Amino acid sequence: MNKKRTGYMFCFATGIIWGALIGASITTMLVSYRIDLFYEKIAYQENMIEDSVEKLKKLEKSINNSNIVLKDIKIIIEADEEQINSINNIEIEKAIKEKFNSSLGKEVKNLDAEILMQVIDKRILKFDEAEYKIDVKKLSLSDTLKIWVGITVMEIESQE
């Protein structure tokens, strides 16, 4: 009778331990997923804040100018969501915008769309041991510079 009781207690204790381990694993997965989502939102919002501060500085310099000035830069990325994760998508957008930050606040009539297009066309960016090739599909220049870019992931040669 004592052996039977010991066997039941062992099974009960083992069940509690396995239940705690499985519960902790599931909770960890759910929490880490939420943290990843929050990290993406924070990275996106930090990027937006940096862009807004840069735009504000450029626009304050050109406030007395009555001509149309470049006020904003919009990047529209056309790529497979499977190939490029959202963090790299934000980093690519940020890198492209950095190339055009010097144009913010300048008169649109003094900017050449062809030169602006050539600044990033056929450029290769490296993030997290991955290379991305940028191809400019379309460019629209008004008080907002809109650039449609295609992104292709290039193969990385391992250096071993």
Give the pLDDT confidence of 91-114 residue by residue, as tens digits: 888 888 888 888 888 888 888 888
Q: Is the pLDDT of residue 65 over 70?
A: no
Choose among 124, 38, 47, 130: nearest CA to 84: 130
**pTM check: above 0.85:** no
Q: Report the C-alpha gap between 64 and 98 in whole angstroms.
A: 25
Summarize the confidence of residues 56-81 as an average pLDDT. Answer: 78
pLDDT band at 142 (very low <50, low <70, confident <90, very high): confident
Phi, psi of 38 (to 5 degrees): -65, -35
Q: Tell me how far CA of residue 70 lies from CA of 9, 62, 65, 73, 148, in angstroms.
A: 75, 10, 12, 8, 17
pLDDT at 102 (0 to 100): 83
The ranges assigned to domains in the chain are 3-154
Q: Report the C-alpha gap between 92 and 134 in whole angstroms.
A: 9
pLDDT at 160 (0 to 100): 45
Which position has the token pair 């913010």? 104
pLDDT band at 44 (very low <50, low <70, confident <90, very high): very high
